[in-house]
A and B are shown apart, each in its own frame.
Chain A
């Protein structure tokens, strides 16, 4: 039963990683860049939600909605100001810029909200479902996180595979030049990708801080790196890969904490990543691109 408890915690943590990993993987798939500022968008989302709920007594779900709106615009603005001028630049320049944006967001947060940790109020309270005579306890936030992840997965998959805009995103991710020749506005599509990824990051921020309630300007950094790892693990550029990678990473991390050592858990996570990449260099569900000539 304890095993099951750990497993559910792992799935819940993994769900948060998966939601964050989606932002990495979608942006990578379309703009072919690693947006290392993505983790800090989570932090901004969490702060917006925190102030809306704790200071201005918003309904928690309205708070999350507000955070999503702010982060969506933040994502679009960052892309427009920092990354769009570098569309033709070497990828190293874009990577360094992304790291710069990450520090910019962290330091802006430090100025605006100070370094004092805030205690984030859970968006759904601290209650728990007791199952099997209290042997299995699933907190409300754990359940909500898993449900949110499932809903996002289904909605996003339908969007990408069925809608006109979703298909245009896939076309851009395969070949931007050809997509342009179809009449697809590639710049708008890239903006849309950043908007979706950042909106999801806001949800992840609220869920993350509800489960681990310490909110600081650096709160997004480590989950951001872990989620990036999850995206690579599942195959960067692949949406199902981000989900699988996120969930597996969460479960491995919690099991490593429970059964090996809580200090070594990150080392175990990264060791598993290295082994996966040795066996499958493109990640679990990734594709090595091959061009037909």
Chain B
């Protein structure tokens, strides 16, 4: 079943035509990746799905229901969580408070169970639960941003450039965690510039260029495709 269906959306920033009629879907239990260079429109696509931007034409539906005219905070309630680009943790709030904010739409009685889950996934966060998020390293902040999104018990987790600005060893750690989440049944939409890493864990991928989807295929197909290799993987 398609968890997310995006059909032929066009998005404008003023007069700039940022997204030009793209369509894709994410099925239950899949990791799907959107790859492409800086400025291809990947984050714009995610922000449109989250309701922060509105498509001028086309439709976005989540779990079979249209998201047109649904306010962003209501979209979260329906089970769609986004880990934004640049992590955007609440720097002056503690790690624990950040996680509590992630559970804002959730019933309070589940919160302890969910906190334990996140802490077991990211033991580093448990060590630092009373520290303010601004004092964490970049990698820890990325873990916090992911943990915070998981607190909303998402039916679809969207990750925007989780590897951005992280050391290679941390990038591997983050991708291991994404792969683990997938094994436990999570449905994930992953936006990445690091095409190699993203395609190696993804079931399927879409390649974006200047607001359009130019190629699609399974992760392995795209990794092997000469065109993709040439454009994104250094030959």
Give the interface of A toward B (CB within 8 A): 164, 167-168, 170-171, 174-175, 177-186, 287, 292-293
Contact = CB atoms under 8 A, between A and B. Distances in A.
Contacts of A293: 86, 165
A174 B73 contact: no
Given A180-B52, A183-B104, A167 B93 contact: yes
Nearest to B91: A174
Given A174-B93, A180-B72, A181-B81, 14 more contacts: A167-B101, A171-B90, A171-B101, A178-B89, A180-B76, A181-B52, A181-B72, A181-B82, A183-B74, A183-B76, A184-B73, A185-B71, A186-B73, A292-B91
Interface of B: 50, 52, 71-74, 76-77, 81-82, 84, 86, 88-93, 97, 100-102, 104-105, 108, 134, 138, 141, 148-149, 152, 165
Contacts of B89: 178
B76 A170 contact: no
Interface centre among A164, A183, A293 (most CB of B within 10 A): A183
9 contacts: A170-B93, A175-B88, A175-B90, A178-B88, A179-B101, A182-B76, A182-B102, A182-B105, A185-B73
B207 to A, nearest CB: 26
A30 B10 CA distance: 32
Nearest to A189: B73
A143 to B, nearest CB: 35
A170 B72 CA distance: 19
A197 B196 CA distance: 52
B101 A184 contact: yes
A292 to B, nearest CB: 7
B112 to A, nearest CB: 15
A177 B148 contact: no
B84 A183 contact: no
B25 to A, nearest CB: 22
Contacts of B82: 181
A184 B93 contact: no
Nearest to A287: B92
